[in-house]
Structure 1
């Protein structure tokens, strides 16, 4: 690599010829900062003015509204006055928000207005000097570009090319020319700390500086250090399915977030954050990445876990097991016949074979077999399941489930109305109407008046009031039934699903090979036992959710979703992958993961990404690989590679950032382990490490470790047990399970009890690898008894 370094300060450069460029750049920086400062003063003035406007309008809102309710015309005028005043307030609040966001953006620009410069000579044209930052900065004349946004087409030259022939794409085609200069800056607090000229796409010096910094409780933007292969992911507009296999710490998630920012910039006229959804592995990770897009000046996309999707669909009526609970349950049953049977069921129900079986079952259900719930009020049948089935199947199958379900829903709502009328003379309704309170009577009075009642015939008026009261009481009595009908709960998806495990012939006829899976009898008994008690195993949740939504025509799916991002995609079963594709049929998909971190049973036999690459046509699919691990030091990366099987580790290469070797520490018993870990934590905190992760295998082990460490550490040490419900990663020492650590990084990681007892089986290899790769700078591995056979040799103590 050919790099010229310009150190800070006159006389400190590596050669005398660097003085002029350094002084020139510092002078130019002052010019830019003056522009930022001038713009900030204007925005602050606007902000103060808007803030005063908003406060004033809120205080004087009712004083400026003319209130008069003497007759209908005055009421209308009063309403118009309120609406006008509310619109004025809303407009001022919008202006205040825009000015506030502008001040926040300019404050960040004053701290670090840009991070790179490129000099590009277009073929047949002159040389253009381009400075690149997190956001653009345009002069007051509206024409002078002081800084280009990193997402602008010309900025891709910085990420993709070294000096020499270069080209970048614009909407109209490609612009070719010569890249004359690539210069990088580190600017903090408006001061130029470092300046590099480099022949590399992004200089190692910049990466070294960034990667040597401490971890934080939130992920940072990487726009200044995007690598060429990451830039290809960020700017890909051609493929509908982007599959990214990346080593631990290779920047997969960072690239995905920058890709979202790029898409919002590139398609800002047609794409909004609400049209992008990101599936995160757990709530902790959601909080960890929540600051990246706002830091780039963009609103956050929609973000959820797959668990939240399941809960929204099934959680109100059933107790639904989550993935962590399933994993803990399998760990407790390890080595037993029941544990082996459950593991088979988990793998099968996440497989493509089962997805095809359910698809074929749905085709069968187009003709017959859907289970319906009878609509009853007390001991009266309003609509029997047989009547509902007849109505549903009377609609042409070619119209699809959505039309048939909607038609049946309308028919049932009409049936409910007719039933209400049929009850007008019934004794139960007469008695109930006599017990209504004054508020109900007033409502009935208003309804009758609005319908033109209360004329000269007093008896007729009283009869209308009585009928209205009884109808009102009847409608309120069946309101829960009407609500259930509107929510399509007359379709009994659960019973329809369990038929698959009650009937051998039905299952075999739907299976693609005509065969029952191994362990089908156990699955049948298990479904009867759990679903009968309104409990849904995690492995049943996605198939049941898919069947339920398909029978309703995927009516609840937001069709405006244009992009779906899935992080830690290797943990999704093939069934879950196919389900997401069906749920968001018009969306482009970006899925990211690491084969070597596939730690859950549901995806361990799925062959890498578990069917993700088969979701779309090959010509619409791009599979990319990130092999360089930037997160950890070279010593930690080499150590973690040794945990994996040689074939799995072959394509992982460390970025050359040196550090201390990992320490492997044998302890006599759990008490000794706790004492040694507590002493090491105190030392690491004293050395300035701000985030320390103590990672145990399971949630129960993490809780035990936290309780022990709390006794051993000083009271002023910030120690937090991170659970599945935690929304943010705390500062200081976090104690958590291996499953919650995915995607997160710490300055130092202490692996709690990496013994052969805890990490002894072949399937524990990838889990141990995942845990150890969370460390940026320091890794300590403790155990009692015999160490895990997957731990490699190291220079540290054993």
Structure 2
């Protein structure tokens, strides 16, 4: 057996060889990159010098066009070549820093020679095109590293299963092209490697975990059999990281048939979007499409209505805690996210095929061009036996024809004549050119002035009704808001559509609330998804995205069953990967969802896989154990900490808000001085954050960076961040300081999961502060430090 010194010498020699290959390839790509950059700049500067321009006749015009196309194609080819070289150079630069992280020796034949396989973020092939210096971590053979210990092993390839023996599994820590550590291991991923990675300071972006993927994570990443993957994982168990590696794996595995645009990731908030944006580029892949559910709602409803977002709803519910109005609003929010309400709306939509769609008249000033009654007669009368979509298409064409007829009827009206007289020079010139093309203003024409006047009048009338034509094209002749509101105006209608024929608890309050809010075009968050569902259904689900092949939903426990069903309706062909943690379900809309029930009922059981990740890697063992005590025993039972030492969390009781701000400012500054790069000061609500931010700025020196993170923030800064509890989901900090976790602020049972979520954001240090008595939910097993 070789000793540790011999192993290091062997691997250092091999690393030097690989870095030599990388450097030669990098110099070559940089040379190509410089040439292509010069080509692109030169072609752009001399583009028109190399084009023969002549418009004298059709022949010369054709030659001119051909010359332009040739130059444009040459420029496009050089730009593509430049992009390819730039991507290759970037990948090689990363490989120079860290070309690989593991080695396995695998023998396919019994007692045969074992092949050495080095595994990295991307492959490295020699100039002969045959010698593999490094295999991509997503290659089939690389799965041996994640799934097996030394001994009998196998891996799957497109051509079948390869059996053999894994004789060696070795891991490396390479930084800046220097071999820092080398470990032989008989575990899936050695604890020494994990300790080294997890002990590092946090960054403002999530990192790739390809060097530390665990066996259970690898199964999630490489699953190709199921249409629905549900990943229930403890806080810090690597759910999101595994999902992003899964995206990279799918892009690698199906690189000929799958593009980043065909993968969509729903993130919990804009801060999280920015936080994960670096992972895929670091793995050499373009980012998939990423959005929040809020952005989906805003894109369709935001232009027409004032739409409340989830965070504003959360703030409103927090403000109304304990009041009759607040309790009624919470009941409504929970019901409108339920499967019962989704079924009710679905039945209502089927009923609308026969009657009940609310239409808008087409009006111009005080004139009614087409009345609601005329629209209804066409839609439910003349075409009533045809399909809903066919009727809608015919109705849109018919309304366009009515507008054209109305324009004809208005050409001699005084308002049109006055509008035509105000036509500007460009309008007159455009009308003149159009008439010349039609043969006007020639020797034999005699009514050109009249035709020009007529065209200017027609143009004026068309310009006046252009908004109406756009409204018809965009289905604005229907009123989805009024149509949706009908459900809450009629007891009998709602009961007839409900699957059990009953009104939900609190229906009367919902009815009054709908009349109050919908009439002024204010949409409560709990009404936004149902309204969008009605709107999309009325318009024939124009926005169905059938080309999307994979849909990822992070923090899926926070989606209501209604939202889950709506997303399935909108992305009908996509395979689903949903990730979350029951213990972090903090929003009212998902409290009755039964965990992932809203998702698992979307796909047949035989096409569904449920994976559980129980080990928490993010936080130190003392922080994980502290956080577990917040949960009910049955919820905490499945959470296991990774054995990483650290300090016990600190709990401090302060006699006043001023004293609390003094202590937190002092401790935050001290943590920054110790080298902790990201400090999260987490308060319960945004309103509380505003107060906390103001108090801390008074106490911190100007050289200490402090940022108030809001729902619109896209990036997580270095330094001190002050943010509300619900924006901290999915993010981690070197140190977390919890602002006022008192019994007054976190005293209700419904606060349990919220407090757990906040405390599990900490990587290395957790400080919990309270004004007065700390929350009983903390389940404290250690004394509380009193601050006078």
Paired residues of 2:154 and 2:162 also in contact (CA < 8 A): yes
Match of 1:642 in 2: 629
Return the offset for 1:558: 2.6
Name stretches of at least 5 consecutive residues in structure 2 with no aligned partner.
Answer: none
Task: Show CA shifts across 1:450-473 (max 9, x none).
Answer: 334334444322232122212211
Match of 1:718 in 2: 705
Match of 1:165 in 2: 152
Match of 1:565 in 2: 552
Return the offset for 1:521: 1.1
Describe how 1:206-217 pairs up with structure 2 within 5 A: 206-217=193-204
Determine whether 1:390 maps to 2:396: no
Paired residues of 2:202 and 2:733 also in contact (CA < 8 A): yes
Return the offset for 1:123: 4.1
Rounded to whole Å, the distance in 2 between the matches of 1:402 and 1:110 is: 58
Describe how 1:263-282 pairs up with structure 2 within 5 A: 263-282=250-269
Task: Show CA shifts across 1:722-781 (max 9, x none).
Answer: 111111000011011001101000000000000011100000000000000000000000
Return the offset for 1:114: 0.4
Match of 1:188 in 2: 175
Task: Show CA shifts across 1:268-288 (max 9, x none).
Answer: 101100111111011000000
Paired residues of 2:737 and 2:767 also in contact (CA < 8 A): yes
Moved more, 694-703 or 555-564: 555-564
Describe how 1:77-226 pairs up with structure 2 within 5 A: 77-123=63-109, 126-226=113-213
Rounded to whole Å, the distance in 2 between the matches of 1:163 and 1:391 is: 74
Match of 1:5 in 2: none
Match of 1:258 in 2: 245
Q: Of the candidates 31, 53, 72, which is equivalent to residue 39 of structure 2?
A: 53
Paired residues of 1:400 and 1:553 also in contact (CA < 8 A): no
Rounded to whole Å, the distance in 1 between the matches of 2:620 and 2:581 is: 19
Determine whether 1:791 maps to 2:778: yes
Return the offset for 1:26: 1.1
Rounded to whole Å, the distance in 2 between the matches of 1:616 and 1:126 is: 46
SS of residue in 2 equivalent to 1:182:
strand
Return the offset for 1:83: 2.8
Match of 1:443 in 2: 430
TM-score, normalized by length of structure 2? 0.97
Moved more, 382-391 or 270-279: 382-391
Rounded to whole Å, the distance in 2 between the matches of 1:370 and 1:609 is: 34
Query: Residues 796 and 88 from structure 1, CA distance in 2 versus in 1: closer, same or farther, beyond 3 angstroms?
Result: farther
Moved more, 437-446 or 637-646: 437-446
Return the offset for 1:313: 0.6
Q: Of the candidates 60, 77, 83, which is equivalent to residue 74 of structure 1?
A: 60
Query: How many pairs does the alignment contain?
Result: 784
Rounded to whole Å, the distance in 2 between the matches of 1:231 and 1:464 is: 74
Match of 1:412 in 2: 399
Query: Residues 134 and 500 from structure 1, CA distance in 2 versus in 1: closer, same or farther, beyond 3 angstroms?
Result: same
Moved more, 245-254 or 172-181: 172-181
Rounded to whole Å, the distance in 1 between the matches of 2:579 and 2:139 is: 24
Match of 1:285 in 2: 272
Paired residues of 2:361 and 2:372 also in contact (CA < 8 A): yes
Describe how 1:515-526 pairs up with structure 2 within 5 A: 515-526=502-513
SS of residue in 1 equivalent to 2:741:
coil
Rounded to whole Å, the distance in 2 between the matches of 1:17 and 1:731 is: 43
Q: Of the candidates 6, 9, 13, which is equivalent to residue 23 of structure 1?
A: 9
Determine whether 1:767 maps to 2:754: yes
Moved more, 269-278 or 74-83: 74-83
Paired residues of 1:573 and 1:610 also in contact (CA < 8 A): no
Describe how 1:729-740 pairs up with structure 2 within 5 A: 729-740=716-727
Determine whether 1:308 maps to 2:295: yes
SS of residue in 2 equivalent to 1:506:
helix
Match of 1:63 in 2: 49
Query: Residues 77 and 329 from structure 1, CA distance in 2 versus in 1: closer, same or farther, beyond 3 angstroms?
Result: same
Moved more, 410-419 or 642-651: 410-419
Query: Residues 17 and 784 from structure 1, CA distance in 2 versus in 1: closer, same or farther, beyond 3 angstroms?
Result: same
Task: Show CA shifts across 1:42-97 (max 9, x none).
Answer: 00100110111111111112211222333444344333322322222222111111
Moved more, 694-703 or 556-565: 556-565
Task: Show CA shifts across 1:528-549 (max 9, x none).
Answer: 1111111100000000001100
Describe how 1:674-753 pairs up with structure 2 within 5 A: 674-753=661-740
Name stretches of at least 5 consecutive residues in structure 1 with no aligned partner.
Answer: 1-14
Rounded to whole Å, the distance in 1 between the matches of 2:464 and 2:584 is: 53
TM-score, normalized by length of structure 1? 0.96
Rounded to whole Å, the distance in 1 between the matches of 2:5 and 2:657 is: 60
Rounded to whole Å, the distance in 2 between the matches of 1:75 and 1:475 is: 34
Determine whether 1:548 maps to 2:561: no
What is the root-mean-square deviation in Å for CA atoms of aligned residues? 1.5
SS of residue in 1 equivalent to 2:255:
coil
Q: Of the candidates 215, 229, 232, which is equivalent to residue 219 of structure 2?
A: 232
Match of 1:32 in 2: 18
Rounded to whole Å, the distance in 1 between the matches of 2:385 and 2:261 is: 33
Query: Residues 270 and 419 from structure 1, CA distance in 2 versus in 1: closer, same or farther, beyond 3 angstroms?
Result: same
Rounded to whole Å, the distance in 2 between the matches of 1:317 and 1:499 is: 19
